[in-house]
Amino acid sequence: MSRRLTVFMAIGLGATLPGAAPALAAGERGIALVVQLGAGSGSILDLCVKEPPGTTGAQALADGLRRAGLAEPAYATSGLLCSIAGQPSVGCGVRTAAGYQYWAYFHGGPSGWTYATDGPGTHQVTPAVVEGWRFEEAGTGHPGDPGPVVPADPAAICDAAQPSPPTTLDMPSTSVPPVERHDVGAQPTTSGAPVTTTEAPRPPTTLRRVVSATQRLHATRPTSPVPARSSPAGTIGGMAIVVLVLGAGIVIWRRRAT
Amino acid sequence: MTLDTRPHAVAWWLWSTGLAVAALRTSNPLFLLLLGAIIGLVAVGRLRGAEARRTMRGFLLLAAIVVGLRLALQVLVGQRLPGHVIVGFPSISLPTWAQGVSLGGPVTIESLLVALVAGLRLAVVLVAFGAANALSSARELLRSLPPVAHEAAVAVTVALSFVPELFGSVARIREARLLRGRPSSGFAAIRGITVPVLEDALERSVHLAASMGSRGFGRRSPTPPVSRVVITVSSALLGAILLLLGGYGSLAGSSPLLVPLGSAVLGVLLLGASTLMSGRRSVRTRYRPAPFGQRSLACAVSGWVPLLIIAVFGAVDPAAISWGPSPLAWPTLPPVLLVMTLVAMVPLLVAPTPPGVGRRSRVLEATT
Amino acid sequence: MISFDRVSFRYAEAWILRDLDIVVADGELLVVVGPTGSGKSTLLKMVNGLVPHFSGGDLAGEVTVAGRSVVGSSPVDLADLIGYVGQDPRSSFVAETVEEEIAYGMENLGVAPAVMRRRVEDALDLMSLHEVRTRSVRTLSGGQQQRVAIAAVLASAPSILILDEPTSALDPGAAEEVLSSLTRLVHDVGLTVVIAEHRLERVLPFADRVLLLDGEGGATVGEPGRIMASSPLAPPLIDLGRLAEWDPLPVTVRQARRSAGALSALLADERPAPAPLQDGRNVASVTNLTVAYDGLRALDRVSLSFAAGTVTAIMGRNGSGKSTLLGAMAGLLAPTAGAAEVSGQAPRSMDAKDRICLVGLVPQDPGALLYAQEVGDECRVADLEHHLDPGTTAGVLGNLGGEIDPHRHPKDLSEGQRLTLALGVVLAPRPLVVLLDEPTRGLDYGAKRLLCHQIRTLCDQGAAVVVASHDVEMVAMVSDRVVVLAGGEVIADGETRDVVCHTPAFAPQVAKVLSPQTWLTVDEVAAALGAIEP
């Protein structure tokens, strides 16, 4: 049975927390996100983030996941979204006998869910359209794949008046069956796997996180473009060798030209 | 004398093909840079002649243009990879029929890096091809082909010399137009130049055919039975097709490696068989065929060492040499790999230094 | 060795050769002579099989070479027996380097590698090509290319060698060398050689027999002296012999000198008519001109000036910078240092349309200047482009002579007619300076005489004419002044008589025969003799 959980983030219309968490930034509006991590017994995440105009769907998703304390989305070099919240832990757009296993992107409105034709990197979010994400188990990669099973109702998701109960998040127990590593998009396999911290195959576990709903959360842009994940020492060493070799080449070219 | 110690043309092409294949199967920008630098160093160090230098320069320029173009395209219409934004262009929405293309939109470091890696990959392949061309011209390669491909090789050789002749012809006609006081550039000039150049080319090709015929091109021993000819030619064709498909399959990497590799091996066997069969038919001999000795072997093999390392690491520890745009990380290579890739510089030791370079050869020249 | 048995040939309706009955003996050097368009090249190609297998046409009769029928075999089959060198060696190159080009024929014939190496070395020796053996054939000069083509054919050790104008691109010294090597092969190895040549003065001394084509399809063959006695085409030596009524007619300078004693004595007190005083102003000059490209200095600090109404000949070995000098004066090449100027202006910086009214250049291949489909169209277009009155170019062409049918395609014209047409097109805007680059290539004696006449007419009209040429006889006939270039520098500059008569390489035949007297042409001698006769 599916447990439907909703995580509400405080809109911050009236300051309930003392101290000066800044009020709504100019032009920010609430964007609704629905993430369905798996069919059947999967969990559905409803997120609502405050974003200024011009935010892309990918940015909204990343902000939402970050605020929920979940792993940010990882992309392959072709632009394909590989994993959300660490799910799936291995493979990216893996092809099985039944079809592709990949994250599909939808836009939801009063008429239901439509398969998105532009990528999350370019689509600009609006309050009236719900950003939908569903992990397809046996998809075709075409607009026929099914959308999230919940209705697309931005008002319901981003309802500011509702107090937010303490929430738990149930991670689905799906694990990707080990299949041949063939990526969609003909990427070399060494680069297609998103870097996550879990290893394969994963035994069924549940991950419980509690998020306080009274936290005032604002979506902000990350300011530092410099990745701080790994140290540049290795790169510097390698570049030193490259520069040495290049330099030798240039010196020889100059000498030969005279 | 240097003719005999130079690596064989085929060795140079094998060396550069190995490095090009290694470049195609990696996504690590540091590795690509290292490969490119190695190819450049070996080529620059062992080029002979002004024409080879020109070829190399041309290919280096082309590679730089490719990288620049790829980056520019990424900024303008490329796939928007989400990540750390550096420039936020406004996104221009296109009508539904052009939905596959994204115009504008925020430019992220990840997307630029992905474009850079893709461009670098192609650039390294181009530089490898240019190096092979410059170090041993395509003509030398064609001369080394087995007799079954002799006539095709001659056709390609003639075509190769046709292009510079064409340029020479165009230059001559343009000069003649100047002498007549006519414009030598612009649209009106094109027609005026094209027709004489084509006439020139036609005459030249007729003369060439006559001269080659007079010198015995195409002589054959008494023709063997038709069935044998058919078998030879068809097995050569089939072998070439299998090799092509197998090569493509193993490079594209989307199907299991066994099938394309098997097809490639089968193709090579068929080609070898047809070569043996046809070799007995033709009466041609070869003047001073370059020997494929130890130096050539060392040169050829050294080019495939980086690919071997990639394969080994790919099986054992793929994360060590792979690099992806998200999450963003500094590209690194294990030191072992760095050092072993430098093995690809073996041709610097194996190939003789070109004349006029280095103090030692000047001393020799002074005493002769 | 070669036998033509009642051979007739035509391409279209007109028979080029009719009922030819010739036998060429083994080990003979045969020279084929005839006016342009008389079928010399066709005859040569018939030995090889290129006619009719490559060129088409109707061949009647039987051509047999060493017992093999040519009509029945193809050129490929005869390649082991016959070596053919065409008129344009550049377009016959297959390989990259000189060595490979020489070995190419042997590779096709399946010669053993050891034998190939030996023969390549012999061929390089014979044609003096050692310094260029590893160079690309495309980078060689015209003369070197011609030598490579001959070496390549010799290396296959054929029994018969066919050469179509082999010395056209060679300067006199190189031509002499090549022909001596061939003669030595004929004497030592018994090679049969058939040469077609316009410049008889170079070839006649080596010929065993001469075949004369009369241009109507007929042919006569015989001893050089006998044939030349009645031939309309004859080198100056023969003309001199006919004038002085020597019998037998000498074919070599040495023979002529033996008979020339009386003539020399007769002319001892005569002097050639002095050239009319040239006091025209300088219309063109080069000052400290240096042109360098590809690391090569083609011209090195050359300073010359050219006066109106004079004909200056630029002579020198292949690659000495003659064409470069003309190119710089015509504005095609930019000077690396120094200046070239025509009538006070630098041709390089002028607009092309203005430039052609000052300086006109006829390049080595005059056909490159011609675009139209018909001669008449060419003239009309030239009038339009140069803003001349309609009919000017056709008029100039008519004055030049040559009787060119206005409805013919320029490519169908003979060499001489094509040169005349190009000359007409270049002369229509009446340029002050006229430059000619190797104009006598492919011209027979009649056309050469016509060209000299045209040049002199130009001079009388006040133009300055500069001719770059190897052709010693033409230079002797037409030029007032000779400049000799070597290695891009001027090594001699003076009146024709002074420069040419004392240099064996550039001396005309008449001068060599009557040396130490300085007579340049048969016409001068004739005039002097006419003055003596009371």
pLDDT of residue A52: 84
Outline which parts of chain C fall under CATH 3.40.50.300.
Answer: 2-235, 282-503
Distance of CA C312 to CAs A155, A218, C327, C468, C506, Å? 99, 93, 15, 8, 15
Hey, what amino acid is at C387?
Answer: H
Is A168 inside any structural domain?
yes
CA-to-CA separations, B261 to B18, B313, C397, in angstroms, rounded = 15, 20, 72
Whether the predicted pLDDT of C415 surpasses 90:
no
Residue C479's closest CA among C426, C522, C521, C441? C521
* B285·C331 Cβ contact <8 A: no
CA-nearest of C474, C470, C444, C419 to C32 is: C444
Nearest residue of A to residue B83, measured between CA atoms: A59
Residue C457 burial (CB count, 10 A): 14
Whether residue B44 sits in one domain with residue B118:
yes
Averaged pLDDT for residues C345-349: 87
* B 159-218 residues inside an 8 A Cβ radius of A: none
With a cut of 70, say whether residue C457 has pLDDT above it: yes
Q: How is residue B282 annotated by DSSP?
A: B
Asked, for residue B87, whether it belongs to a domain, the answer is yes
Indicate whether B304 and B202 sit together in one domain.
no
Closest CA to B355 of B367, B345, B364, B344: B364
Q: Do B338 and A186 touch (CB under 8 A)?
A: no
B202: DSSP letter: H
- Superfamily of domain C2-235 in CATH is P-loop containing nucleotide triphosphate hydrolases (3.40.50.300)
Chain C nearest C-alpha distance from B196 (Å): 7
Residue type, C87: Q
Confidence of residue B280 (pLDDT cuts 50, 70, 90): low
Residues 6+ apart with CB under 8 A from B361: B353, B355
Query: B26 with B87, same domain?
Result: yes
| CA C315 – CA C484 distance, rounded (Å) | 5
Instruction: Tell whether B185 and B105 lie within a shared domain.
Output: no
Q: Is the CB of B258 inside 8 Å of chain A's CB atoms?
A: no
Residue-wise pLDDT for B88-108, tens only, equals 777 676 776 766 666 777 788
Tell me the ipTM for this assembly: 0.83
Domain count, chain A: 1
**Minimal-distance CA residue of chain B relative to A55:** B106
Contacts 24+ apart (CB under 8 A), A205-210: A205/A171, A205/A173, A206/A170, A206/A171, A206/A173, A207/A169, A207/A170, A207/A171, A208/A168, A208/A169, A208/A170, A209/A68, A209/A69, A209/A70, A209/A168, A209/A169, A210/A166, A210/A167, A210/A168
Query: Nearest Cα to C206, choosing from C252, C254, C258?
Result: C252
What are the distances in angstroms from CA C116 to CA C126, C128, C132, C178, C182?
Answer: 15, 18, 18, 22, 20
Q: How far is residue C267 CA from its own chain's centroid?
A: 31
Q: How far is B140 from chain A (nearest CA, A)?
A: 23
Candidate from C113, C120, C361 with C-beta closest to B179: C361
- Residues C516, C110: Cα–Cα separation, whole Å: 55
Name the B residues in 301-330 with CB < 8 Å from any A CB: 314, 318-319, 321-330
Q: Of A122, A241, A256, which is closest to B102 when you measure between CB atoms?
A: A122
* B158 and B212 housed in the same domain: yes
- For C238, phi and psi rounded to 5 degrees? -65, -40
Q: Read off φ and ψ for residue C485, nearest 5 degrees.
A: -105, 145
Percent above pLDDT 90 for chain C: 36
The β-bridge partners of A75 are: A81
3 state SS of B91? strand
Q: How far is CA B77 from CA A116, B62, B91, C209, C329, in A?
A: 18, 22, 10, 79, 53
Query: Does residue B358 come out as left (phi exceeding 0), alpha (psi in the -120 to 50 range) or beta?
Result: left
| Mean pLDDT of the region B124-145 | 87
CB atoms within 10 A of CB B362: 11
Q: Which residue of C has its CA nearest to B289?
A: C113
Helix (H, G, I), strand (E, B) or coil at B261: helix
pLDDT digits (tens, 9 = 90+) for C480-532: 999 999 988 999 999 999 899 888 888 999 999 998 888 899 998 998 888 87
H helices of chain B, where? 2-5, 9-24, 29-46, 50-77, 109-135, 138-143, 150-179, 187-214, 226-252, 258-279, 294-302, 305-316, 318-321, 335-341, 346-350, 359-367
Is the pLDDT at C455 greater than 80? The verdict is yes
pLDDT of residue A213: 31
Place of tokens 């792979």: B322
Q: Residue C443 to residues A249, C199, C258, C403, C449: CA-CA distances in angstroms? A: 55, 9, 31, 15, 10
- Out of B218, B253, B278, pick the residue that ends a domain: B218
pLDDT tens digits for C132-142?
Answer: 888 888 888 77
The residue segments making up the domain with residue A220 are 29-225
Average pLDDT taken over every residue of chain B: 81
CA distance B197 to C33: 32
The residue among B189, B218, B247 that closes a domain is B218
Convert C157-206 into a string of H (helix), E (strand) and C (coil): CCCEEEEECCCCCCCHHHHHHHHHHHHHHHHHHCCEEEEECCCHHHHHHH
**What one-letter code names the amino acid at B100?**
G
First-to-last C-alpha distance (Å) of chain C: 54
Specify if B293 maps to a domain: no
Q: What pLDDT sits at residue A215? A: 30
Domain end: B287, B319, B334, which one? B287
Show the tokens assigned to C136: 């690309």
Q: Work out how many domains chain B is built from and give that number.
A: 3
For residues C392 and C401, give the distance between their C-alpha atoms in angstroms, rounded to a whole number.
14
- Give the model confidence (pLDDT) of C254-286 as tens digits: 999 998 888 888 888 888 877 776 667 888 999
Tell me what pLDDT residue B87 has: 74
Q: What is the pLDDT of residue B255?
A: 55
* CB interface of B with C, residues 215-254, below 8 Å: 215-219
- Select from C516, C475, C517, C512 the least CA-distant residue to C496: C475
Mean pLDDT for the stretch of residues B49-53: 79
Residues of chain A positioned with their CB less than 8 A from the CB of B321: 190
User: How many angstroms separate the CA atoms of C384 and A6, rounded?
Assistant: 88
Query: Which run of H or E residues covers position C382?
Result: helix C375-385
Contact criterion met (CB < 8 Å) for B210 and C105: no
- Residue of B80, B101, B323 best to disrupt the A interface, most CBs of A under 10 A: B80
Q: Which of A52-66, C37-51, C405-419 has the highest average model confidence (pLDDT)? A: C37-51
What rounded mean pLDDT belongs to chain C? 88
Please report which helix (H) or strand (E) contains residue C150, including its range.
helix C142-155
| Residue B5 shares a structural domain with residue B127 | yes
Residue C438 C-alpha, separation from nearest chain B C-alpha, in angstroms: 15
Is C342:C358 a contact under the CB 8 Å cutoff?
yes
> Does the distance separating the beta carbons of B172 and C110 come in below 8 Å?
no
Task: Write down the pLDDT at residue B62.
Answer: 94
Among C188, C203, C211, which residue's Cα sits nearest to residue C251? C203
Contacting chains of C (3 CB pairs or more, <8 Å) are B
Query: C94 and B182: CB-CB below 8 Å?
Result: no
Cα–Cα–Cα angle for B77, B78, B84, rounded to 5 degrees: 120
- Of B152, B138, B131, B137, nearest in space to B271 by CA: B152
Minimal-distance CA residue of chain C relative to B184: C352
Q: Which of C41, C54, C92 to mutate to test the interface with B (most CBs of B within 10 A)?
A: C92
What's the token pair of residue B6? 């130079």
CA–CA distances in Å: residue C47 to residues C40, C76, C209? 11, 13, 17
pLDDT by 10s per residue, chain A, length 258: 334 443 333 333 333 444 333 444 567 788 888 888 766 545 777 888 888 887 788 888 888 888 888 877 888 777 778 888 777 777 787 778 888 888 888 888 888 888 888 778 777 888 888 888 888 888 887 888 888 888 878 887 777 433 344 344 444 444 444 333 333 333 333 444 443 333 333 333 333 332 333 232 333 333 333 344 467 788 888 889 899 999 999 998 888 776
pLDDT greater at residue A212 or residue B292:
B292
Q: Which fold has domain C282-503?
A: Rossmann fold (3.40.50)
> Same domain, yes or no, for B11 and B123?
yes
Average pLDDT for residues C391-404, to the nearest whole number?
82
The rounded distance, in Å, linking the Cα atoms of C359 and C330 is: 6
pLDDT at position A18, please?
41
Peptide linkage before C52 cis (omega within 30 of 0): yes
User: Contact, B223 vs C104, CB < 8 A?
Assistant: no
Helices (H), C414-471: 415-427, 445-460
Q: Is residue B354 part of a domain?
A: yes
Nearest chain B CA: its distance from A258 CA (Å): 10
d(CA B191, CA B291): 48
pLDDT at B4: 52
Q: Kindly state whether B73 is in contact with chain A, defined as any CB-CB distance less than 8 angstroms.
A: no
Which one of B140, B214, B285, B286 makes the best mutation probe of the C interface by having the most chain C beta carbons within 10 Å?
B214
Q: C171 falls in which pLDDT band (50, 70, 90)?
A: confident
Q: Are B203 and C91 an interchain contact pair (Cβ–Cβ within 8 Å)?
A: yes
Residue with tokens 């034709």: A117
| Residue A213 is assigned to a structural domain of this protein | yes
Measured from the Cβ of residue C177, the count of other Cβ atoms closer than 10 Å reads 16
Q: Which chains touch B (3 or more CB pairs under 8 A)?
A: A, C
Virtual torsion, Cα C491, C496, C500, C502, nearest 10 deg: -90
